[in-house]
Structure 1
Amino acid sequence: MSGRTTTQVVDLKKDVWAVADTLRGVYARNKAGDIILPMTILRRLECVMAPHRDQVAAIIAREPSEVLRVKAIKSATGGVKFYNTTKHTLASVYDSGDDMADNLLEYVRGFSNDIDVFANFHLPQHIERMRKGGILATIVRQFRDLDLSPEAVPNSKMGELFEHLIFMDFESSNAESGDHYTPRDAINLLVDLLFAEDDNALSGDAIRSIYDPTVGTGGMLSVAEEHLHRMNPDAELLLYGQELRPESYAMCRSDMLAKGQNPQNIALGNTLTKDLFPDDRFNYILSNPPYGVDWKNIAEDVEKEHKRGFTGRFGAGLPPTSDGALLFVQHAIAKMNPADSQDGGARAGIVLNGSPLFSGGAGSGSSNIRGWLLENDLIEAIVALPNDMFYNTGIPTYLWIFDNKKRPERKGKVQLIDATALGAKMPSLGSKRVEIDEAARERVLQQYADMESSDTSKIFDNLDFAFWQITVERPLRRNFETTPERVALVAEHKILGTLDGLIGALKSFNGGQYLNREDFLNDLGKHLGSRGISLTSAQRKALWQTLGERDQNADICRFQSGKNKGEPEPDVPLRDTEIVPFGWDVHPKCHEAKDATIKAYFNAEVKPHFEDAWIDHAKTKVGYEIPFPLHFYKYVPPRSLAEIDADLEESLQEILGLLHKVEESK
């Protein structure tokens, strides 16, 4: 058979989801996917097995070992790695009358051990519910009549069908569908970029591995496999993935089975708490981790691994618990094939929102992670996608490309590509209103390949995104006096106001205004002492803070004890921070130039404005930030006053015209 046309595939999508009408009365509309998804998988597996049923039955009869059975079946069928020990089909189940529920249950449980799909969909329980609801026969018949054979619906189209069903399911339940799968147009661009630098994948009988730590239903893996086979039909791509949600895991594993991939390569579990492929490294990593995922509930596990340093996955740092995106990035880097391996390193492509670019100040976990990525020359390119590209969000989204063995011309460089204006309008699907079509994808790929600066492509050194955050202090200058207004503030103080005799003593102190704190405290201390009033250090500090006012003509207050004795005391409210970029002015762009660069910046940018300011070098921090939008900002001049006046006049005349019509109608 030649396969279905696009129209036929669209009709198939409608036919499958139309089963939701049969489920009404027994299932709410938002629960239709609980039946449609596993039954679609069941029918697909049945269609894949159909040409080989007799061969498989003979192998099962003579071979009791599960492992040897699968090996023999794979050899005999050309790649099928699963089987069913029963003689049932949906057709025979439908014809079994009163035994239909029992036979369907037996059929579902008769699959080889690798097929744990139906348990994760809770299909056995649903079979009984459909029987009691009187709809089981109709459901079985509807799926029996669907042609989901690989000849009629090849793997790529089956992937589209899965994607459509999942979207319909999560749309009907108001769930975050974007957490479960990624639009094909975004995947296509990501995969194109991922394979762009890999000449080895284009030659001979290449065997490559690809891994998705947030695999969802497997859409990214499917597109990657199709893409590599278009590049090199003789290449083999081994697919691996880990998924948190049982239903998505079930869909992905079924898809892998139908394609002849090893279902054991798809694992169920939380990637951040447990890497289920601890000893494996991969040629490629693809991922669209959930945006802004909160990891408070797993913080103990993550922090424990972080403390192991780089013997674990999170040695570079920990982002805030409100957003785990950079944890997924570190995991992906940890799973990359080493640069010195026989396969020659690895590449990774991750879909992220804007937060990982610039969240967190200098010295924060997020900044430290960016620094680790940049200092180790792992970031190759970042592409800004159009807004409204994804099903569950319209926020800015970026494709990050990582490479641990860059080509010579890319070493030490990061390319930023602005594709925000390349979105083509499309009918809305949830929040998705635009797509990256083939022409736009080719344009991005050409900019990537050219690696030249333009209005939409910029080339930077890694350390262009590094900076020092310095803390600038200014001295504490205060005048002091015991005016009625200031004494009243002391009386209102929750501690000072309760001290016996203090307020009366202050009112009787007539020293006038002091511009030197030590002179004031000495005279005031004598005055209080003569009245038998003794203050602790904390009370003494609270007193002068309450009686003092900022005065730039006053003497500088200095530390009277400790390691900083004699040094100016900083005025904390006047404390400020400055950002000093690596390579500022003509200074070298390196860590070794820190002191000279900061000194030159301070003398040029701070001292002329605040002569008495100084740097607290103990607070200096190195930070890393990738301000993507800033580098592509285009100034749009404001409209002229004449244009604004003309618009206002036009609006005024329109309003007057409407009022005139109202008056005429009275």
Structure 2
Amino acid sequence: MNQNPKNQASLIWNIADNLFGAFKKYDYQNIILPFVVMKRIDSVLQPEKEAVIQKHTQMVGRVSDDGLDNFLKSAANRQFYNTSPYDFTKLLEDSDNVFTNFQMYLDGFSPNIKEIVQKFGFDENLRKLKSNKILYLILKELDKVDLSPNSVSNHDMGYIYEELIRKFSEQSNETAGEHYTPREVIRLMTRLLLDPDKEKIAGDNKIIEIYDPACGTGGMLTISKEHILHDINPDAKVYLYGQETIPQTYAIAKSDMLIKGDNADNIKGGTGEYTEDSTLSNDLFYDKTFDYILANPPYGQDWKKDRDAVEAEAARGEAGRFPAGTPAVSDGQLLFLQHMVSKMRPKHDGGGRVAVVHNGSPLFTGGAGSGPSEIRRWVLENDYLEAIIALPTNMFYNTGIATYIWVLTNNKPTHRRGKVQLIDASEIYHKLRKNLGDKNKKLEDSDIEQIFSIYADFAETKQSKIFDTTEFGYRSVTVNWTDDDGKKQKDTEQIPLSDDVDDYFKREVLPHLPNATMDRKKDKIGYEIPFNRYFYEYVPPRSLDEIDDDLQAVTKDILQLLNEVTD
């Protein structure tokens, strides 16, 4: 029987109460999460547990370590196993020796699971659990939670991991958004990313590769694969790739891939050495491109630690991942954008598509000639940008700011070439009955369908605007003039690229500044996407008569109240 994942997450969350007094609250997730990962693995391995133990007894010492590893994986019918006689239930049978037996249990795991457990920094916390006599309590309470595949699907298990991360992060005032994009936002992203290519994905012998350069717990990757297999092509071979800097979330992503039968070696990073793991500094898939790429990279996070590597890469020009240059060091979003574009499958091999979540900064930050403007110019002049969708505010757990999904491709369909579609979906949502952090809105299936339909229709409506790519470009022209006091003044005019500079100057400047001149040697080209301006609706002020009527009505009410008091 399927369990409610929200209830399961709450049960596990309550287990952390046993840590009170012995650990700081910011340590809770580094203890509870590895136990949850091991409990899930333990439950998955249960049906073949005895067969693995028998095979280990039969073959140990008779074959090489690699040979034994292969035999045990075959016996487990998985790419991982545990050879110890213990499981979470049997560990409870000997409370006096639970620490020693638990260590034997950990030693029985296959090397790939041992690596995952090690990423949590579990050894030190395990010793503290022993000294505080808490280990038995944790195992006892967790044994009451059914995480078997028959009760908790892989999809629901992903929800449990991410709900726990959200709660632990909220408790310790950390940023859950570093790890977790709401699943309904991911479902919208996968529709925008994959559904336009349904015909391409359908059919026999299809091999699809999907990549997330900031993969967190791997939710975007797994939901993308599920969408392909459930809704487009159940026979497709889908391979997932991700890179992650944080060891704990890397461990969850890798364990999730192992359990689902994906190649966990395609999840890279997690060493704890930032410049080794950071996608911006060190592309661990430097020799690959992909069919589909999606991510929710950090907002407003500086790239100081990546600076040397990024600037060296940018110096390579078109041969590197940052051919348009670099933005201000205070925000790396446009570096991730360039990186993702560089990882698209070349057009002659079928092309690639990108869906990425950004805040508002990449739309307009930086004037003409600045790093951000030059990156937008590169994206638009190469006709990579297909659409930008404004999401409702308060969709994410750690921020209420406006967020946008950018959709890019190097192989636009004919009717979209040279065009960009802007979609205002900020009012398409349902309210949550109870806030989850800053999140008080969600996308129901009907909302996702409505937003995708607006995108697919590619028509001008109140919520959809379509522009030529050049519409976002302008020329910054320096204007000099002398004021009435004889002082020299200088300013700049932003003249749309579609407008003739001389005509614009005669029409917009000279009527107001008859002695003005232009210094064309200082011209700069700029690009910005003033999203809100295109959807602004003028609301005229109320008429004076209407205001006067309201004032008279209020005055009448006040006089009536005063008369009642006097009487």
| TM-score > 0.5, shorter chain as reference | yes
Residues 197 and 66 from structure 1, CA distance in 2 versus in 1: closer, same or farther, beyond 3 angstroms? farther
Contact 2:55/2:75 (8 A) holds in 1: no
CA separation of 1:651 and 1:425: change in aligned 2, threshold 3 A? farther
> Is 1:598 the equivalent of 2:501?
yes
Q: 1:431 maps to what in 2?
A: 438
Partner letter of residue 19 of structure 2? L
Do 1:209 and 1:239's aligned partners in 2 also have CA atoms closer than 8 Å?
A: yes
CA separation in 1, counterparts of 2:386 and 2:127? 54
**CA distance in 1 between partners of 2:98 and 2:468 (Å):** 67
Distance 1:95 1:580, change over 3 A: same
What does residue 518 of structure 1 align with? Answer: none
The residue that corresponds to 2:274 in the other structure is none
Q: Which residue of 2 aligns with 1:350?
A: 356
Q: Give CA-to-partner distance per residue, 1:383-417, whole Å, 9 cap, x none.
A: 00011111111111100011111111111111111
The CA RMSD over aligned residues, in Å, is 2.4
Contact between 1:319 and 1:326, CA under 8 Å: does it hold in 2?
yes
- 1-side partners of 2:119 and 2:324: how far apart? 35
Residues 484-512 of structure 1 show CA distances to partners (whole Å, capped at 9, x for unaligned) of: xxxxxxxxxxxxxxxxxxxxxxxxxxxxx
Partner of 2:137: 138
Determine which of 410, 414, 418 is the counterpart of 2:416: 410
CA distance in 2, matches of 1:122, 1:663: 77
User: Which residue does 1:113 correspond to in 2?
Assistant: 111
Which structure 2 residues correspond to residues 584-595 of structure 1 after superposition, within 5 A?
584=499
Which amino acid letter does the alignment assign opposite residue 98 of structure 2?
A: M
Q: Counterparts of 2:548 and 2:514 in 1: how far apart (Å)?
A: 47
| Residue of 385, 392, 399 corresponding to 1:393 | 399
Measured in 2, the distance between the counterparts of 1:91 and 1:582 equals: 71
Q: Name the CA shift for 1:175/1:647 in 2 (closer, same or farther; >3 Å).
A: farther
- SS in structure 2 at match of 1:157: helix
Distance of 2:80 and 2:546 partners within structure 1 = 71
Residue 313 of structure 1 aligns to a residue whose secondary structure is coil
Q: Which amino acid aligns with 2:203?
A: S
What is the letter of the counterpart of residue 89 of structure 2? A
Could you say which residue in structure 2 is the equivalent of 1:170? 169
Q: Report the equivalent of 1:191.
A: 190
Structure 1 residue 97: Cα displacement: 3.3
What is the rounded CA distance, in whole Å, between the counterparts of 1:27 and 1:291 in structure 2?
Answer: 31
* Displacement of 1:625: 0.9
Of stretches 401-410 and 139-148 in structure 1, the one that deviates more from structure 2 is 139-148
Mapped to 2, the partners of 1:657 and 1:92 lie a distance apart of 81
**Contact 1:470/1:621 (8 A) holds in 2:** yes
Give 1:338 shift. Answer: 1.1
Residue 342 of structure 2 is aligned to residue 334 of structure 1: yes
Q: Does 1:19 align with 2:15?
A: yes
1:73 deviates by: 5.3
Query: Which residue identity lines up with residue 217 of structure 2 in the other structure?
Result: T
Correspondent of 1:551 among 486, 499, 504: 486
Please tell me whether residue 377 in structure 1 is matched to residue 378 in structure 2. Answer: no
Q: Give the structure 1 partner of residue 495 of structure 2.
A: 580
After superposition, residues 535-550 of structure 1 pair within 5 angstroms as 550=485
Q: Give the corresponding residue for 2:81.
A: 83
Q: 1:392 & 1:663 partners in 2: Cα distance?
A: 55
**What residue number does 1:449 align with?**
456
**Displacement of 1:204 after TM fit?**
2.6
| Separation in structure 2 between the aligned mates of residue 216 and residue 437 of structure 1, nearest angstrom | 24
Partner Cα separation in structure 1 for residue 73 and residue 462 of structure 2:
53
Give distance in 2, aligned partners of 1:134 and 1:653. Answer: 74
Q: 2:544 aligns with which of 621, 638, 641?
A: 641
The answer on 1:37 being equivalent to 2:45 is no
CA deviation profile, 1:506-525 (whole Å, cap 9, x unmatched): xxxxxxxxxxxxxxxxxxxx
Deviations 1:293-331 (A, max 9, x none): 111233222112111212221121211111111011011
- The reply on whether 1:295 has 2:308 as its aligned counterpart is no
Q: CA deviation at 1:43?
A: 0.5
Instruction: Quote the residue 1:202 is aligned against.
Output: 202
The separation in 1 between residues aligned to 2:550 and 2:69, in whole angstroms, is: 75
Equivalences for residues 66-77 of structure 1 within 5 A: none
Aligned partner of 1:229 in structure 2 is 229
* Shift in Å, 1:181: 0.7
Work out the CA distance in 2 between the residues paired with 1:660 and 1:290: 62
- How far did residue 644 of structure 1 move? 4.0
Match of 1:623 in 2: 526
CA pair 656-445 structure 1, distance change in 2 beyond 3 A? same
The code of the aligned residue for 1:347 comes to: R
Decide whether aligned partners of structure 1 residues 657 and 286 sit closer, same or farther in structure 2, where only a CA change above 3 A counts.
farther
- Percent sequence identity over matched residues? 43
2: CA distance between counterparts of 1:223 and 1:659?
65
> 1 CA distance for matches of 2:543 and 2:223?
50
State the secondary structure of the residue aligned to 1:468. Answer: strand
Question: Do 1:180 and 1:216's aligned partners in 2 also have CA atoms closer than 8 Å?
Answer: yes
Q: Point out where structure 2 has 5 or more consecutive residues left out of the alignment.
A: 270-276
**CA contact under 8 A between 1:105 and 1:127: conserved in structure 2?**
no
Deviation per residue, 1:8-52 (Å, 9 max, x gap): 333212211110222222224443222211100000011111122
Q: Extract unaligned runs of 5+ from structure 1.
A: 478-549, 553-570, 585-596
Which amino acid is 1:14 matched to? S
- Give distance in 1, aligned partners of 2:474 and 2:55: 66
Distance (whole Å) between structure 2 residues aligned to residue 155 and residue 311 of structure 1:
40
Paired residue secondary structure (2:306)? helix
> How far apart in 2 are the matches of 1:245 and 1:315?
27
Query: How far apart are 1:70 and its partner, in Å?
Result: 5.5
SS at match of 1:401: strand
SS of the equivalent of 1:616 reads: strand
Q: Say if 2:471 is the partner of 1:464.
A: yes
Distance (whole Å) between structure 2 residues aligned to residue 651 and residue 124 of structure 1? 72
Q: How far apart are 1:290 and its partner, in Å?
A: 1.1
Amino acid at match of 1:577: T
Name whichever of 255-264 and 47-56 sits farther off. 47-56
Worse-superposed segment, 163-172 or 296-305: 296-305
Secondary structure of 2:521's counterpart equals: helix
Tell whether 2:514 aligns with 1:611. Answer: yes
Deviations 1:452-473 (A, max 9, x none): 1111111111111111111112
| In structure 2, C-alpha distance between the alignment counterparts of 1:579 and 1:70, rounded to whole Å | 66
Paired residues in the alignment total 553
Letter in 1 for 2:437: G
